[in-house]
Amino acid sequence: MTPVDPVEEFLSMLAVERGAAANTIAAYRRDLDGAADAIGDLATADRDRISTLGEAWRDLAPASVARKASALRQFFGFAVDEGYRDDDPSEALPSTSRRRNLPKVLDHSEVEALFACAQEDAQGDRPLAVRTLALIEMLYGSGLRATELVSLPVSAVPRDAPFLTVTGKGGQARMVPVGTKASQALSRWMAVRDGERSSFVFPSRSSHLTRIRLYQIVKGLAAKAGIAPEKVSPHVLRHAFATHLLEGGADLRVLQALLGHADIATTQIYTHVDSARLVRLVNERHPLAARAASD
């Protein structure tokens, strides 16, 4: 089996999820290849090696350094989210002034619209529609990475226990909860799935569904549900899983375990709590709020 190249996976994501033009992808490739020439494999380079890029880029214009650093920050963020790295070493980059941007967020009404569309399509038990419902249930209901979902083996599907055993990059295994709706959708898919000889839950010819095809399915469903396709991707649904759990009161350490993050700092970057909720929390829970109410 050909080893997965994280850089190629990242460039494919740019093309599919963000609709990046060929020239843009070529520019990212040049920046990433140039960095790899200087420090070695980007998926395994440590912070000390990454910090030497300042010397390698010393003769470049500030704008060029900023562009190259931005490309690497985005790659490192992708590498962490997809399990190719356990840490985000972006702080070691030269002239780094900002943390990587948070992913786009879907609000609850958009998630509901997405699921309403998927459930309506799946009413007739058409295999592809049932598969789409199972895919988004697993992305939003269990917070799986795209790669973890498409490569999910049949042996991981629970019979009685409401958990999946997911093995991420580097052989790191974790238990992932499967909610009632996700379990029902998965059972429906397994009943109509065409691929009894395949060892994958979501088979495709001789292997499994590709990440690119998963992106296309999710974006197609978004368009049908009346949501701008550029707002929705498998990663955005994973982020919505984390965001909405955190909004509901989930502990950050629990969320770290569910997402499969080795470092809780990654979870803090990945999750998002809206400012309105924070203001409401202060108003409701701070001791001064109680005093003000009694005055």
d(CA 193, CA 256): 32
What are the tokens at 113? 């619209």
pLDDT at 95: 65
d(CA 144, CA 241): 9
Map out the domains of the chain as residue ranges. Answer: 6-92, 108-270
| pLDDT at position 1 over 70 | no
Nearest Cα neighbor of 83 from 143, 132, 134, 36 is: 143
| pLDDT at position 98 over 50 | no
Which range, of 37-41, 111-115, 270-274, 279-283, averages the lowest pLDDT?
Answer: 270-274
What are the tokens at 124? 């007739």
Q: What residues does 167 pair with on adjacent strands?
A: 173
Residues 6+ apart with CB under 8 A from 92: 47, 48, 50, 51
Do 6-92 and 108-270 come out as alike in CATH topology? no
d(CA 240, CA 244): 6
Query: How far is residue 149 CA from its own chain's centroid?
Result: 11
Residues 6+ apart with CB under 8 A from 200: 150, 151, 152, 153, 154, 207, 208, 209
Write the pLDDT tens digit of every residue in 154-184: 888 877 667 888 876 566 788 888 888 888 9
Question: Is this prediction's pTM over 0.75?
Answer: no
Q: How confident is the model at residue 225 (pLDDT cuts 50, 70, 90)?
A: very high
Residues 6+ apart with CB under 8 A from 282: 289
What are the tokens at 265? 């700092």
Q: How confident is the model at residue 216 (pLDDT cuts 50, 70, 90)?
A: very high
pLDDT at 36: 94
Phi then psi for 233, rounded to 5 degrees? -160, 170
pLDDT: is 16 or 282 the higher one? 16
| pLDDT at position 102 over 90 | no
- Architecture category of domain 108-270 in CATH: Orthogonal Bundle (1.10)
Compute CA distances 86 → 45, 132, 149, whole Å: 12, 30, 19
Query: Helices 108-121 and 234-247, interaxial angle, to 10°?
Result: 130
pLDDT > 90 in the chain, percent: 38
Q: Compute how many other C-beta atoms are within 10 angstroms of the C-beta atom of residue 160.
A: 5
Q: What residues does 166 pair with on adjacent strands?
A: 174
pLDDT, the chain, mean: 84
Active site residues: 145, 169, 235, 238, 261, 270
Is residue 34 packed enough to be buried (19+ CB in 10 Å), middle (13-18) or exposed (0-12)? middle
d(CA 49, CA 42): 10
pLDDT > 70 in the chain, percent: 85
Write the pLDDT tens digit of every residue in 11-53: 998 888 777 888 889 999 999 999 999 999 999 999 999 999 9
pLDDT at 21: 81
pLDDT at 288: 66
Average pLDDT (68-86) is: 91
Residue 294, classed as helix, strand or coil, is helix
pLDDT at 31: 94
Assign domain 6-92 to a CATH class: mainly alpha
pLDDT at 243: 86
Write the pLDDT tens digit of every residue in 105-154: 788 899 999 999 999 999 988 999 999 999 999 999 888 889 889 999 98
